[in-house]
Each structure stands twice: as structure tokens, then as C-alpha cells.
């Protein structure tokens, strides 16, 4: 073997070692997940390197690496697609081309990305919205919102609520031919967080007369109180969304002050005077037995009151919808929750399912075995396609 061939062999072995990721046996098409994870971890390493050198903020670099996903607002033979604004908030609107004499369903969708990344014009969100609009014969509003690190809580929440409230105006609904009795809100990950938060807020807003028929929460982030849930421990280092990255997203939602991330990683960020709120996120009483996996509940160590005073959003129900008391949950609409087996956010969704059911809310829970966080964005995988199909079918039957 020549030196050149030997060099290529060594390079191939190193590359294979970099790409390879040991995955659980029940993961379908593991090579696709490995390739996806290779891109994600390479982007993350480069973004971390740029941040260490002081060249760019981590999230800004990650936004740059994700920008290739841009998809223009292109109409086709089935759907008219248009970028516009709802009360100055950018939205992308999908309207079926086929004429109808009856009013259509309306779905308000909120993209994910840890309140720091993502856009409604990413290819996967654009494709999912097209499929939804076409198969449901529905008007789909896919909203954007201002992102961290430039903007922090509650800006993201307020942007989404402003756009949703604009859409729910009877005159706006009439202009789009939407049935005011058949409107839903949906979102994935951080978008699922925002969807849950705005659905709760609508119940308290006397200016909004139109009620949501459904809410659909796709692997939502619903609390920042306890980062030692079984799902955080079990899936801390799995592909797509590690515990460290999720905690970074949460801390960036509130501030660029890295001391908050450090406190969150050690689960020492909630002050003693707010300890009564832990009952709303106590997984020992809210998780089904099969998801406890032998883990032992430990009451989180209380943190400094100074952090909560500087960043009160960490105690705000608009940031952590699981903190809502039962009386606030009772008025929520029919709910669909998707959770994934290998996802740090799995138990957030599971606890919300339990709390909603305990409050008398009708809930359909779709737990996807062998799946990772972000599955509905991985439409190139069998499990991702099935999950999207199930999601749209549920909306078709219930919205």
C-alpha cells in the first residue's frame, strides 16, 4: 500500500469515527440521524470556537449555518403563499387555491429554535405548512418573532401573541375566509412553549372573543425549574438536543449573562421564596411510572434571590406554562401533545399531559418511540414523515 492510499485510509477511518454515533437499537435509519448529527455538531463546534475567539456570539453563528434552509414564498398549483405582517410581526400565509363556498379551518403555527434560532421560511417549516394547508383545506399562518440574543423574554412571547391576536380579529378572519369556530394554535419545541403560553393568555384576555378549538404542542419546552428530570438525565448527550444546549437556550431566552446558565446547569437557580412552585413540576407525582426509569426525585437546591430579581422571567408562567395553576388550565381547548423517546424535553410534555388531564382538559398524547427531538423537521426520515402524517391527520379529524 502506497503512502497516498494509506493516508486516505487513515482519513477515512477518522471521518467514520467522527460521523459514527452509538444509537439505541430501536432507532430507524440510524445512518440518517448520524449524518444529521454530524452537521449539527460540526456547526456547534465552529460556533463555539468563534465565540471563544470573540468573533461572534454562538447563536449568531448557528443562525448563519442554518441560513441555507431558506425557502422563498413560492406559490404552487395547490397553495398560494405570501409573506406579510400582522401588526408589524412577519408571518407567512398559506391559502388553498381551490375555491370553496364554506369557511376554512385556520391554524396559527409557531416555529421552534430555542427562542434564538429558526424562521418560518426554513424549508422544513415551509413544507409542513404547505402539507397542512393542502390536506386540511386550511389557512395556515406561520409566524416569526424576534430572537435572542438580541431580544429576550418576554419579547418572543409578545410578538407571537400580537400576531395571533391580530389574526383572531373577526374582520381579519373574514378576509381570509376562516371559520372563527375552527381555529387552532400549534408549535414545536420553543414554538410549542409559545403556543402553550399564548393559549393560556387568551383565556384571560377580555378583548379576544374568539376561542381556540385546539392546541397542538410538538415536543414542547414547558418549564425551566428542574433540569434533573429523568428525560434530562437519560438523554443528556443524545443527538440534536443535548442537556447543555437546552439549558443554553433557556438561559439565552432571559439573558446573555452566563452566570444564569451555570446556575441552571447545577439546578440552583430558583430562590427559596419560590419553592412552592415546584409542586407544578414535581415529576415524581406527574410522570407515568414507566418513564421514571428508577430515577429518584431530589428536591432542587435553592439558588440566589439575586438571579430571580435580575431575571424575573425565570419565574413567569408565560415562560414556563407548567407553572399555571389548575384553575388556569381548566379552560384550555382540546390538546394534542407529541413527545419523543430520546428527547430531554420528553418529560415536560408528559407532565403537561398529566396536569391537563387532572384539570379536566381533553388530551391526546402521541409518544413516538425511537425518535429524537425535532423529528417533525426530519421529513427525510421514515419516523419524521410518519409523525408529520399523524399530526396532520389529527388536525384533520379535530380542527
What is the chain's pLDDT, residue by residue, as a tens digit (399 residues)?
A: 566 665 666 666 666 678 888 899 999 999 999 999 999 999 999 999 999 999 999 999 999 999 889 999 999 999 999 999 999 999 999 999 998 889 999 999 999 999 999 999 999 999 999 999 999 999 999 999 999 999 999 999 999 999 999 999 999 999 999 999 999 999 999 999 999 999 999 999 999 999 999 999 999 999 999 999 999 999 999 999 999 999 999 999 999 999 999 999 999 999 999 999 999 999 999 999 999 988 999 888 888 899 999 999 999 999 999 999 999 999 999 999 999 999 999 999 999 999 999 999 999 999 999 999 999 999 999 999 999 999 999 999 999
* Strands (E) located in the chain: 79-86, 89-96, 104-110, 138-143, 178-188, 214-218, 334-342, 363-372
Helix 30-52 × helix 58-66 angle, to 10°: 140
- What is 286-333 written as a DSSP string? HS-GGGTTT----PPPPB-HHHHHH-GGGG-TTT-GGGS-HHHHTT--
Give residue 2's pLDDT.
66
Characterize 209-218 residue by residue with b for buried, 16 or more Cβ atoms within 10 angstroms of its Cβ, and e for exposed. Answer: ebebbbbbbb
57, 111, 269, 373: which is the annotated catalytic residue?
373
Going from N- to C-terminal start, the domains of the chain cover: 29-69, 76-223+317-398
Active site residue 359: no
How far apart CA 399 and CA 397 sit, in angstroms, is: 6
Phi-psi region of 54 (alpha: psi -120 to 50; beta: other; left: phi over 0): left
Q: Of the candidates 243, 239, 241, which has an alpha carbon nearest to the alpha carbon of residue 31?
A: 239
Report angle CA 288, 294, 298 to the nearest 5 degrees: 90
Q: Which three cell numbers stand for residue 230?
A: 429523568
Give residue 255's pLDDT.
97
Give residue 14's pLDDT.
62
343, 347, 348, 377: which is the annotated catalytic residue?
343
Q: Is 62 helix (H, G, I), strand (E, B) or coil?
A: helix
Active site residue 348: no
Q: Is 151 helix (H, G, I), strand (E, B) or coil?
A: coil
What residues have CB less than 8 Å from 74, skipping those under 6 apart?
Answer: 81
Q: Of the candidates 224, 156, 149, which has an alpha carbon nearest to the alpha carbon of residue 187?
A: 156
Beta-bridge mates of residue 395? none
Give residue 24's pLDDT.
93
Active site residue 373: yes
Q: Which three cell numbers stand for residue 112?
A: 421552534
How far apart CA 302 and CA 304 sit, in angstroms, is: 7
pTM score: 0.96
CATH architecture entry for 76-223+317-398: 3-Layer(aba) Sandwich (3.40)
189, 242, 251, 320: which is the annotated catalytic residue?
189
Residues belonging to the chain: 399
Amino acid at each position: 500500500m502506497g503512502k497516498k492510499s494509506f493516508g486516505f485510509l487513515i482519513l477515512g477511518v477518522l471521518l467514520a469515527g467522527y460521523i459514527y454515533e452509538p444509537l439505541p437499537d430501536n432507532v430507524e435509519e440510524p445512518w440518517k440521524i448520524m449524518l444529521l448529527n454530524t452537521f449539527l455538531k460540526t456547526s456547534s463546534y465552529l460556533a463555539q470556537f468563534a465565540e471563544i475567539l470573540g468573533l461572534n456570539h454562538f447563536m449568531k453563528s448557528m443562525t448563519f449555518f442554518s441560513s441555507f434552509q431558506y425557502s422563498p414564498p413560492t406559490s404552487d398549483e395547490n397553495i398560494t403563499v405570501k409573506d406579510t405582517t400582522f401588526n408589524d410581526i412577519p408571518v407567512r400565509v398559506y391559502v388553498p387555491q381551490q375555491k370553496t363556498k364554506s369557511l376554512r379551518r385556520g391554524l396559527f403555527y409557531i416555529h421552534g429554535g430555542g427562542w434564538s434560532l429558526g424562521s418560518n421560511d426554513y424549508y422544513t417549516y415551509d413544507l409542513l405548512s404547505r402539507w397542512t394547508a393542502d390536506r386540511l383545506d386550511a389557512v395556515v399562518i406561520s409566524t416569526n418573532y424576534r430572537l435572542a440574543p438580541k431580544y429576550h423574554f418576554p419579547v418572543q412571547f409578545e410578538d407571537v401573541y400580537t400576531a395571533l391576536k391580530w389574526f383572531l380579529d373577526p374582520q381579519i378572519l373574514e378576509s381570509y375566509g376562516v371559520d372563527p369556530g375552527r381555529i387552532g394554535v400549534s408549535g414545536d419545541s420553543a414554538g410549542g412553549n409559545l403556543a402553550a403560553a399564548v393559549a393560556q393568555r387568551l383565556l384571560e384576555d377580555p378583548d379576544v372573543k374568539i376561542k381556540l378549538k385546539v392546541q397542538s404542542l410538538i415536543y414542547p419546552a414547558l418549564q425551566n425549574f428542574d433540569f434533573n428530570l429523568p428525560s434530562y438525565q437519560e438523554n443528556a448527550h443524545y443527538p440534536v438536543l443535548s442537556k447543555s444546549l437546552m439549558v443554553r437556550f433557556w438561559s439565552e431566552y432571559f439573558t446573555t449573562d452566563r452566570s444564569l446558565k451555570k446556575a441552571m446547569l447545577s439546578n440552583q437557580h430558583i430562590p427559596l421564596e419560590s419553592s412552592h412552585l415546584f409542586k407544578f413540576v414535581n415529576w415524581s407525582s406527574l410522570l407515568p411510572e414507566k418513564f421514571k426509569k428508577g430515577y429518584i426525585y431530589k428536591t432542587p437546591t435553592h439558588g440566589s434571590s439575586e438571579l430571580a430579581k435580575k431575571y424575573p422571567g425565570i419565574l413567569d408562567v408565560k415562560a414556563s406554562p407548567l407553572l399555571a395553576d389548575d384553575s388556569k388550565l381548566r379552560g384550555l381547548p382540546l390538546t394534542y401533545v407529541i413527545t419523543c423517546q430520546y428527547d430531554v424535553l420528553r418529560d415536560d410534555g408528559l407532565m403537561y399531559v398529566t396536569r391537563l388531564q387532572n384539570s379536566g382538559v381533553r388530551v391526546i398524547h402521541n409518544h413516538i418511540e425511537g425518535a429524537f427531538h425535532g423529528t417533525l423537521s426530519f421529513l427525510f426520515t421514515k419516523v419524521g414523515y410518519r409523525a408529520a402524517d399523524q399530526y396532520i391527520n389529527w388536525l384533520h379529524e379535530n380542527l
